Amino acid sequence: MADVWLALAPQLDDADNACVDLLCGDCENVAPSDMLRILLDVGIPVSSTSTRGEIPAVMQWLGRCNDTDVEKLRSRLEIPEGKSFYDAWNDLRAEQGTAVAEPGTPSTQMLTQIIKHSEFWFHPSVSWEKEKKWIQESSFGINQVQDYAWHCVLSGNTSDPSCTALKDYGKQLASPMDFSKITNTLPFLYQRDEYSNKYATIPEGASVLLMSGKLDFEFLPAGPMISLSI
C-alpha cells in the first residue's frame, strides 16, 4: 500500500486521463500531484479521523481511473459538471478571502500566526525553495506557502530565507498580488532568549501532559491530550 501511495503523485503528473482533468482541468497553473496533496488536505483530509478511512479508496480511484472511479470522485468531492477540483478550490479560497477577522477576538489570524511563528517555527528558517522540494518529494506534503509568507512578514526581515515565498503566495491568490515588493516591515515575533527551542529535563516520577498532532498515526484518536506518568 505504501508503495502505491508513493507512486501515485508522479503517476498523475505523467497521466493524461479523466482523473487528471477532474483534479485540475487543463492543469495550466498547477500540477496534478499538487492538487492531490490539496485534496488530502482540504477535500478529504487525511488529518481528520472521520475521513482518514476513505483515503485508500480515493487512492485506488485515482490510480485506476475508470469511468466509475471518476464519477465516484466527482460525487464524493461534490464537484459540479464542467468544473475541476482546482476550480472548486479556487472558489473556496475566493470566499475565504472576503472574510474579515475581528481584531479583538481570540480567533484572530494575526494572534494565531504570531504564536505559531514565535514558538513553533524552526530557527533559523528553512528557505521556501527547500520546503517546496520536500513537499514535491512527499505524498502527503501540503503547500505551506502561506505560512512562509506569514513568517517573512512577521519577522520584519525581508532577507529572511522564508521571504522567497512572498512572490509564490501572491500568485496563488484569487486576485494575484506581488508581495515580493514589501519593504520596511516591523518585527512582531517574540524576542528569542536563552530558553528558546531548549528541551527541559523531566524528573523521574513526574506527571506530564502529552499533546499529539492530528497526523500522528502512532496514537489512537482518543482526544488531543493524554495524561501519562513516567
In a domain, 114, yes or no: yes
The mean per-residue pLDDT over the stretch 26-53 comes to: 87
Q: Quote the percentage of the chain above a pLDDT of 90.
A: 36
What residues form DSSP beta bridges with 208?
228
Which of 49, 65, 97 is at the close of a domain?
97
Examine the pLDDT at 20 and tell me if it is beyond 90.
Answer: yes
Total domain count for the chain? Answer: 2
Confidence of residue 57 (pLDDT cuts 50, 70, 90): very high
For residue 83, is it within any domain? yes
- Claim to verify: residue 12 and residue 82 sit in the same structural domain: yes
Question: Is 225:209 a contact under the CB 8 Å cutoff?
Answer: yes
Helices 145-155 and 109-119 pack at an angle, to 10 degrees, of 80
- Residue 61 cell numbers, joined: 480511484
- Taking only the tens place, the pLDDT of each residue in 198-230 is 788 888 988 887 766 554 544 444 544 444 433
3-class SS of residue 228 = strand
Picking from 97, 118, 139, the residue at the C-terminal end of a domain is 97
Residue 127 is predicted with a pLDDT of: 94
Q: What pLDDT, on the 0 to 100 scale, is given for residue 100?
A: 47
Same domain, 79 and 119: no
Same domain, 68 and 12: yes
Return the closest-CA partner of residue 228 out of 214, 215, 209: 209
- Tell me what pLDDT residue 105 has: 52
Categorize the per-residue pLDDT at 97 as very low, low, confident or very high, splitting at 50, 70 and 90.
low
H-type alpha helices, the chain? 2-14, 18-24, 32-38, 55-64, 67-77, 85-97, 109-119, 128-136, 145-155, 165-172
Most confident of 28-37, 70-79, 81-90, 213-222: 70-79
Residue 225 lies in a domain: no
Q: Which amino acid is at 189?
A: L
**pLDDT tier at 179, thresholds 50, 70, 90:** confident
- Predicted confidence at residue 185, as pLDDT, reads 86
Backbone angles phi, psi at 228, to 5 degrees: -130, 160
Domain of 156, in residue numbers: 109-181
> Does 124 share its domain with 169?
yes
Angle 145-155/165-172 helices, nearest 10 degrees? 130
In a domain, 140, yes or no: yes
User: Could you please report the per-residue DSSP string of 79-116?
Assistant: PPTT--HHHHHHHHHHHHHT----TTSTT-HHHHHHHH
Specify the residue for cell string 491568490: 173
142 and 88 in a single domain? The answer is no
Least confident of 86-100, 110-124, 162-176, 194-208: 86-100
Percent of the chain with pLDDT over 70: 84
Does residue 13 sit within a domain?
yes
Sequence letter at residue 69: D
Does residue 90 sit in the same domain as residue 14? Answer: yes
Helix axes 128-136, 145-155, angle to 10 degrees: 160
Residues 135-150: tens digit of each pLDDT: 888 767 777 888 999 9
Largest CA distance in the chain: 62
DSSP, collapsed to helix, strand or coil, labels residue 225 as strand
45 preceded by cis ω (within 30°)? Answer: no
